[in-house]
Amino acid sequence: MTAADPAGRDGNPSMSASTGAPGGPSRNRRSLTHRVRHALRHPKHVPAHARRVARDTWLQLRHRDHIEYYRAVMAADTARSPEAAVGHNPSVEKWERLGRMQFDYLVGHGLQPHHRILEIGCGNLRAGRLFIDHLDTGHYYGIDISPAILMEAQRTLVREGLQSKLPYLTLVADLSFSFLPDGHFDVVHAHSVFSHSPTYVVEQCLEHVGRVLAPGGFFDFTFGRTEGTEHQVLHEDFYYRTETLIGLARKHGLSARFMDDWEELPHAQSKIRVSVRGERGEGTRGS
């Protein structure tokens, strides 16, 4: 958690800075006014934020490339606490709750055991462990840029006794999906990944995701939403306008819609669903 970013890594526990409701749009957390107000309201957050600013400056000097930079952030955070590295709060109970929320949402939207999932930014399988358990053997594919968190993902698999479900866990350097087959995945899922991604990463994903989606499949992603100026806090947290992301999806032949029912859940990020234009993009194959 930072003084400038009360929503923290996962955007989970805080209420919207502007609306007071979970899932509402965020104010510009980078603005001086917001930061001063937040520091006055939460003086205890100031030292942690100062540490994060120092780390950001140091890592930026060492890694000009965003992926390299974010890998280093994840390595440092994972060493401290794998639960905190993928979410705001290191509590195991919150880690489980956030994973369950993602899982229940997709099951509520028709996810069935025969479906195939690609999870982008799978982390330490907070939701992945539930997908793996639910899906047929070999139907879960998790990718991440962080070797450190993928090692933790393996630990989660062992702890949960999920080895026989043979999930794929793969380290990636970009989101071109070039090593994955055409039309394979019924669901592509990215929770709290674009909230840490600059526009070029988001756009690369939207450019290529249509190729790996099965007919009738969809891609769900969460994002830190703002209704004001798009901005970032340090090089870790990014806030986008809904129209920008829907526009980027359209540019790459996809249709996109804002998921209103996700807003009802206690999570500070919003969700967009993308499908290949001309398809229904709602029901997954056979559901």
Ligand X SMILES: C[S@@+](CC[C@H](N)C(=O)[O-])C[C@H]1O[C@@H](n2cnc3c(N)ncnc32)[C@H](O)[C@@H]1O
Interaction site with ligand X (CB under 6 A): 9-10, 70, 74, 86, 120-123, 126-127, 143-146, 149, 172, 175, 191-193, 196-197, 201
Q: Which is nearer to ligand X, 10 or 220 (CB)?
A: 10
DSSP conformational letter for 239: E
> Smallest distance, Å, CB 76 to ligand X?
12
Cα–Cα distance measured from residue 245 to residue 235, given in angstroms and rounded to the nearest whole number: 19
Q: Which is nearer to ligand X, 123 or 210 (CB)?
A: 123
> Smallest distance, Å, CB 127 to ligand X?
5
- First-to-last alpha carbon distance for the chain, in angstroms, is 39
**How many angstroms from the chain centroid is the CA of residue 267?**
12
Cα–Cα distance measured from residue 95 to residue 82, given in angstroms and rounded to the nearest whole number: 10
Of the candidates 170, 92, 162, 155, the one whose C-alpha atom is nearest the C-alpha of residue 134 is 162
> Smallest distance, Å, CB 61 to ligand X?
20
Q: Which is nearer to ligand X, 66 or 184 (CB)?
A: 66
> Smallest distance, Å, CB 130 to ligand X?
11
Q: Which is nearer to ligand X, 31 or 199 (CB)?
A: 199
Of the candidates 286, 218, 283, the one whose C-alpha atom is nearest the C-alpha of residue 254 is 218
> Smallest distance, Å, CB 149 to ligand X?
4
> Smallest distance, Å, CB 96 to ligand X?
11
DSSP conformational letter for 87: S
Amino acid identity of residue 139, one-letter, is: H
Of the candidates 241, 92, 207, 111, the one whose C-alpha atom is nearest the C-alpha of residue 156 is 92
Q: Which is nearer to ligand X, 3 or 84 (CB)?
A: 84
H helical segments located in 135-274: 147-160, 199-212, 242-251, 260-263
Q: Which is nearer to ligand X, 17 or 143 (CB)?
A: 143
